[in-house]
Amino acid sequence: MVGYLMSKLIIEGLMPDEEIRWKKISCKCDHSDIEKCYPIFKNCIHCRCKYQEDLMPRESFKTSVSVKNEKTGKFKTITKTVTKIKINRGKIYHDIIGWYNLVEN
C-alpha cells in the first residue's frame, strides 16, 4: 500500500528466549502423520505454546469499537490504532495466554 505506514507496536512482557520454559521442551509431534501433529495431537506443549506466540501481533493495528453517546443513547463506531500491548503469560511454561491493549488513543 502506498502512503500507508503503521507505527511500531510496543510490547510489554517480552522475555529472552533462554528464559522461556516452553522453548526448552522438545516437540512431541510426528510430522510424518498429520493426525499426530498439533492441533489434532493436543499433547505437544512446544507446538501449542509456539502457536499461541505466533498469534500475537508484531505491528500496530487498527480496531473498531462502539462508543455510546451518553446524551442520545446511540452508538457510533470509531476506529482506533493499537500501538501498545501487554502480554499475559502462564506461570509454568511462560506461554502467552493472551495480550491486551494498554493505551486508549
pLDDT digits (tens, 9 = 90+) for 50-79: 999 999 999 999 989 888 888 898 999 999
Position 31 scores a pLDDT of 85
Residue 71 and residue 1: Cα distance in Å, rounded? 39
Position 1 scores a pLDDT of 45
Asked if 36 and 44 count as a contact pair (C-beta separation under 8 A), the reply is no
Residue 21 and residue 94: Cα distance in Å, rounded? 6
Position 40 scores a pLDDT of 87
Residue 87 and residue 92: Cα distance in Å, rounded? 15
Q: Please state the pTM of the whole predicted model.
A: 0.76
Per-residue pLDDT 10s for the chain (105 aa) are 444 556 789 999 999 999 999 999 999 998 888 888 888 887 899 999 999 999 999 999 998 988 888 889 899 999 988 999 999 999 999 999 999 987 665
Asked if 77 and 1 count as a contact pair (C-beta separation under 8 A), the reply is no
> All 3 cell numbers of residue 30?
510426528
